[in-house]
Amino acid sequence: MMHIRKVLVPLLLLTVVACSRNGGAPPPSSIGGTKPVDPATVGVLVGRVSFQGTPPEPERLRMQTDRSCLQGDTPNPVDSAVLVGAAGGLQNAFVYVKDGLDPEYSFSVPAAPAILDQKGCIYTPRVIGVMTGQPLEVVNSDETMHNVHALPMANQEFNHGQRLKGERLTKSFSVPEVMVRFKCDVHGWMAAYVGVTAHPFFAVSDAGGRFEIKGLPPGTYTVGLWHEKLGTQEQKITIGPKETQTLNYTVSAANGS
């Protein structure tokens, strides 16, 4: 009995350490019900988010509090909260299926992590989406200390320092939440937002305001839009088998806070 106890105790300790390093239980391989989506019937949702009116002039970030954040003699980067392209496309809008999916559908959770980088003392990308249970890897690519502080309302808050370049932190979220705000307590200008959904049907608008959501099963959906400064919108759309549907949004400064 003593011999068995000597063997089991170290094994249990190793298991506890391994779980703690990985943030608890291993991520699920799938979420939802048991019904697979038929790939022969799925459609595509494409669209564009446009800014109406005169976009605000972006301000330059004040990074002088940490000289290691400055890039030589180049000007400080501008605040990327509202990015409007030359043709009026709005970047960094989070577009997602908010309602209408059959709860019996099952969705595979990606094993590969989504990457949120800290480079030049800026979170990159500023807006990103993940599925519940999917790993989110936060990387410090700077020669300075960062403090990764997530401020969810429905999920568990966390706050971790990353002192060295190359440090990585892997976390996941257990319930859907649009959006989870990230900040750095060392560099007050740093901000990022993570959209957490229970399915893979989300996208972030690119520099031209365009987005694409693939693999949608036929149905009628409420599609939500979220933007950090310009508020939220919803539209309904019906997608038939193998259809490509277009859904466009228009936002303005009046929509924001």
pLDDT digits (tens, 9 = 90+) for 214-250: 999 999 999 999 999 999 999 999 999 999 999 999 9
Q: Where are the beta strands (DSSP E) in 76-166?
A: 94-99, 106-108, 114-118, 123-124, 127-131, 136-140, 146-151, 158-162
Q: Closest Cα partner for 128 from 69, 137, 186, 147?
A: 137
Q: How confident is the model at residue 26 (pLDDT cuts 50, 70, 90)?
A: low
**pLDDT score at 173:** 97
203-to-57, 59, 196 alpha-carbon distances in Å: 26, 26, 11
**pLDDT score at 197:** 98
| β-bridge mates for residue 83, sequence order | none
Proportion of the chain above pLDDT 70, given as a percent: 88
**For all residues of the chain together, what is the average pLDDT?**
89
Task: Report the C-alpha gap between 144 and 159 in whole angstroms.
Answer: 17
Q: Where are the beta strands (DSSP E) in 5-63?
A: 30-32, 43-52
pLDDT digits (tens, 9 = 90+) for 144-187: 999 999 999 999 999 999 999 999 999 999 999 999 999 999 99
CATH architecture observed for domain 35-255:
Sandwich (2.60)
Lowest mean pLDDT among 22-31, 73-82, 201-210: 22-31
108-to-30, 153, 189, 225 alpha-carbon distances in Å: 4, 25, 35, 24
**pLDDT score at 257:** 58
Q: How confident is the model at residue 58 (pLDDT cuts 50, 70, 90)?
A: confident
Query: Is the separation of the CB atoms in 43 and 161 below 8 Å?
Result: no
Q: Is the confidence at residue 137, as pLDDT, over 90?
A: yes
**pLDDT score at 27:** 64
3-state DSSP call for residue 79? coil
162-to-126, 128, 172, 184, 257 alpha-carbon distances in Å: 19, 20, 18, 10, 32
Q: Domain residues of the chain, as ranges?
A: 35-255
Q: Closest Cα partner for 113 from 170, 198, 162?
A: 170
